[in-house]
Amino acid sequence: MVNFWTLSNKAKLVVEEIPYLKSAAINVYIKVGSRHEKENMTGASHFVEHMLFKGTDKRSARDIAESFEIIGGQLNAYTSKEYTCVYARTLDENIYEAMDIIFDMIFNSSFSLKDFNTEKGVVIEEINMYEDTPDDLIHDLFMQNLWQNHPMGKPILGTLETVSSFARDDIYSFYRQSYVPSNMVISVAGNIDGNKIKEKVEYYLDKASSNREFSGAVLDKPKESMNFVKLLPKDTEQIQICLGVPGISYLAEERYTQHVMNSILGGGMSSRLFQTMREEMGLAYSVYSYPSNYSDTGAYSIYIGTGANNISKFFAALYEELDRFISKGVSEEEVYRSKQLIKSSMYLGQESVMNRTGRMGKSLMMYGEIIPVEKVVENIIAVTPQMVKELASRLLCFESISLAAIGPEKVLKEVEKGFKNWFK
């Protein structure tokens, strides 16, 4: 049974009782991410996420870690462009203890100056590690250029310059302004008593909301850049390539069609790109496509890591695949197979309590309602080959495609040449 409420402090809560499980999970979504940051505060949301684990007035960082380990629970968090999530999974008998720890972290983190300075070093090393991982960095490089001069294009981790310049009071102020109940969605699922969960959540949130109000700013819609070429020289063995186009919002009705389209083009092992580039031509170990959907914008990208000797073969093969995908469309068999794969994935995902809390929380945060899995599957099943062809023709037109690449400078010249040959 699923119930959700808008609480008196404007927080939203969704609870699903699943009595046959022995586990429970909680996800707390705070609607603040990298797109909400001023330029000199790039990386602030991610930094706050780190500081949540460094201790409160009641608990040290060690206390938080040991409290979860002693009950065999899992505690973690992540930051995205539009929200931050703190989540935990425990045995059903320990969920209330987990909630006490999580809400203490969320509302009462102390941000001691010593911990703040220590964590600066940790995040700087995280950025350095990311910079040394070109198959991760390439995606950020593409997004930075797709949404130039807009927070959506800034790296979630921040930069070495911004993180180094963070002042404790500025980050603490950002935290206090953002981490308020009216800016939160809480999702809980498992072998729980829904009414008791609601009572506990209200208790923690009412304590926290007595003297704090959310003061979020109106966000500007980003403008997308098209047909750019961004090359980053780096001494790597493989050439990392990301091509893409502006995409759709997660509010667009076409999101269901996009799901099917992506599955056929490059979303899995049976996809066209995987079968052609890897299985038939041996050009790559990893090649795939993926959508990125946000509240008012999106992107659609294709990634490959390949060798310097394969550049011309890759561009010729990819041009042929995209041209065929746009001009000839997809078959009934491909669409049916993809719909069955998506349907299976969604229903199997329901067997995980973490997947359930995540799906419910995001649904409530993004759409203001809980969209049942059955309804999503119904919309997926309704997708036709013609719908896929029309969306592909609109999204994947060559006039909109841009390129980012990382590799040795000499090889990058071949990458740029191969890409520009498409437009001759």
Q: Which of 49, 82, 321, 414 is catalytic?
A: 49
Beta-bridge partner residues of 57: none
Q: Is 39 a catalytic residue?
A: no
Q: H/E/C letters for each residue in the chain?
A: CEEEEECCCCCEEEEEECCCCCEEEEEEEECCCHHHCCHHHCCHHHHHHHHHHHEECCCEHHHHHHHHHHCCCEEEEEECCCCEEEEEEEEHHHHHHHHHHHHHHHHHECCCHHHHHHHHHHHHHHHHHHHCCHHHHHHHHHHHHHCCCCHHHCCCCCCHHHHHHCCHHHHHHHHHHHCCHHHEEEEEEECCCHHHHHHHHHHHHHHHCCCCCCCCCCCCCCCCCCCCEEEEECCCCCEEEEEEEECCCCCCCCHHHHHHHHHHHCCCCCCHHHHHHHHHCCCEEEEEEEEEECCCCEEEEEEEEECHHHHHHHHHHHHHHHHHHHHHCCCHHHHHHHHHHHHHHHHHHCCCHHHHHHHHHHHHHHHCCCCCHHHHHHHHHCCCHHHHHHHHHHHCCHHHCEEEEEECHHHHHHHHHHHHHHHC
Task: Please choose, from the candidates 236, 276, 265, the residue with its C-alpha nearest in 3D space to the C-alpha of residue 415.
Answer: 236
Residue 238 near residue 286 (C-beta atoms within 8 A): no
Provide the token pair at 254: 């076409």
Residues 6+ apart with CB under 8 A from 100: 204
Annotated catalytic residues are: 49
